[in-house]
Copies of this chain bind each other. A is one copy, B any other.
Amino acid sequence: MLARILPRLGSGASALLGPGDDAAVVAAPDSRFVVTTDLMVHGPDFRLAWSSPFDLGWKAAATNLTDVAAMGARPTALVVAIAAPPETPVPLLEGIADGLRAGLDALAPGAGVVGGDLSASRVLTIAVTAFGDLEGRQPVLRSGARAGDVLAHAGARGAAARGLALLFEQGRDASGEPDADLAAALRRAHPELVGAQLAPEPPVAAGVAAAVAGATSMLDVSDGLAKDAARIARASGVGLDFDSGALGDEPRWALGGAEDHGMLATFPADAALPEGFERLGVVTSDAGVVSLDGRPIDPGGWDPFADWDGQAG
């Protein structure tokens, strides 16, 4: 089965030795490499009635690439391990591979899949580990924001969560089961919202641009602007104050919606914001506090251990 999948996944410009031996060899010209790992599990993380195999591969690439980019690194390579039920049709695995390849081509040209593993499991599970090169720069941490910095963001705000809400509200049949036809119709009617949930197009290149522009802190917004802002606030010992006028017509979705995978960063007040970034507010000296127009807010967010209802579909 691996023999049918691996040829669909080029190993990329950084692969000194690709799949086929006990391990791969990847170039690390910077003498350091950035690494992140993430699991996508059928049930808490996706429904097969809503996501195509291509979507799953694309999203697995996109979400890991943004974690690399949020360090200010250029993504170079992935390894992918898939566990699937023994009766899984090969085209499903090929579709995941095609989505991975397309996601890499669109979001991190030159990066490839250098290795993988395929196992049996009752639950379809996709484990991606992604690598990046810092090109001589220091990594951009969550801990570097300073009072007086500008708070800025690149990417969608709330679209992925609004797409997921549409799927839960209108993408299930009368018995509550996820329905492929209803989801497809929703996606045609609201491509920018449902697409942002099922196959997001995060601003991966903005990560390197922010680092080059002197970003003092940065992270990938996976759990909503407010919850992820709180992570910068805690790590940096500062406060982050959002300007409601910059958050659009739906500040609740913008602040609370998970899975947008934009880049939230802070910059020195006199820095020119790189392309794609918009000013959302300012860094204050109120250690650990996230606020909106100066009023503290309570960051929420998704916790798969607390929030998954055990359903798949």
**Which residues of chain A have a CB within 8 Å of any CB of chain B?**
1, 16-17, 20-39, 41-45, 66-68, 70-71, 73, 77, 79-83, 86, 114-123, 125, 127, 129-132, 134, 139, 141-142, 218-220, 235, 304-305, 308, 310, 312
Contacts and interface: CB of A to CB of B under 8 A. Distances in A.
Given A39-B125, A41-B120, A22 B79 contact: no
B119 A304 contact: yes
A237 to B, nearest CB: 15
B79 A35 contact: yes
A287 B127 CA distance: 36
A220 to B, nearest CB: 5
Contacts of A23: 34-36, 67-68, 70-71, 73, 130, 132, 139
Contacts of A220: 22
Given A21-B142, A79-B129, A86-B310, A120 B36 contact: no
Nearest to A64: B23
Given A79-B35, A79-B37, A25 B139 contact: yes
Contacts of A43: 120-122
B38 A1 contact: no
Given A21-B141, A123-B123, A117 B37 contact: yes
A121 B33 CA distance: 30
Contact of A127 (B36, B37, B68, B134): B37
Contact of A121 (B68, B116, B119, B123): B123
A89 B103 CA distance: 36
Given A45-B119, A308-B120, A37 B125 contact: no
Given A28-B30, A29-B31, A86-B308, 19 more contacts: A23-B130, A23-B132, A24-B35, A25-B134, A26-B35, A27-B32, A28-B28, A35-B79, A35-B114, A35-B131, A37-B79, A37-B81, A37-B115, A39-B81, A43-B120, A81-B129, A83-B125, A86-B305, A122-B312
A206 to B, nearest CB: 13
Contacts of A129: 35, 37, 79, 81, 129
Q: Which among A34, A82, A121, A123 has the greatest number of chain B C-beta atoms within 10 A? A: A121
Given A31-B28, A119-B304, A304-B119, A83 B39 contact: yes
Contacts of A83: 39, 41, 123, 125
A198 to B, nearest CB: 18
B33 A116 contact: no
22 contacts: A1-B305, A17-B141, A20-B235, A21-B219, A22-B36, A23-B36, A23-B73, A24-B34, A25-B71, A28-B33, A36-B79, A36-B115, A37-B117, A39-B83, A41-B120, A41-B125, A79-B129, A118-B305, A121-B123, A121-B125, A122-B310, A122-B312
Contacts of A310: 86, 122
Nearest to A131: B35
A165 to B, nearest CB: 20
